[in-house]
Amino acid sequence: MEQERRRLTADDWAAAALTAIGAGGLAAVAIEPLAARLGTTKGSFYGHFSNREALVEAALSLWEKQFTEAYIATMATEPDPMARLRMLFTRIIGNAGQDALAVNVLASADHRLVAPVVSRVEQRRIDYSFALFEEIGFPPTVAAQRAMLGYTAYVGHSQLATRLPGVLPLKDADQLTRYIDSVLNLLLHDAPGPTAPV
């Protein structure tokens, strides 16, 4: 007798929808193709969600948790704010161009379901960076400017790496490390306190 398939959860559907957004944008979230990819039927979908919009909302919530809150949580044990800043930039810049998900989500930022999530995620990321720069010792006005500059550098880098692969001359780990060093040196210019910029 054929073994019974694992029952799919709402999280399974949300993860599949998130993969679809990464591959083809928001329009790629369609129930029947996702059901086929998951090896199930539309009935499984309706057991968890009332409609496509609810699935999109679940996928965006998953994106927020995995690519913002989880990133921040992984750095929580590092006591040095400069080291946390380096960890953050190494991770986000190192991953740029490998996954179009963030670029595709931002491309749909004017959609009524996407807009509040993107707004919340961007504010959370900027606030986190702001707190790092304040902890390093910058006054609030400067910390806010550095956080905004750092975030726009990340978004621009991610867009270029995904949309125009090969344009950025970061072909190996040494080039990536030197690039991250240069970004951090700019962001940490005139950093107060005894710890010098990288």
Write out the DSSP string of 41-98: -HHHHHTT-SSHHHHHHHHHHHHHIIIIIHHHHHTTT---HHHHHHHHHHHHHHHTTT
pLDDT band at 2 (very low <50, low <70, confident <90, very high): very low
Structure tokens at 25: 């944008």
pTM (two decimals): 0.85
Structure tokens at 21: 């957004």
- List, in order of start, the domains of the chain with CATH numbers: 1-59 (1.10.10.60), 75-192 (no CATH)
Q: Chain-centre distance of CA 78, in angstroms?
A: 20
Q: Write the pLDDT tens digit of every residue in 101-157.
A: 888 998 899 999 999 999 999 999 999 999 999 999 999 999 999 999 999 988 888
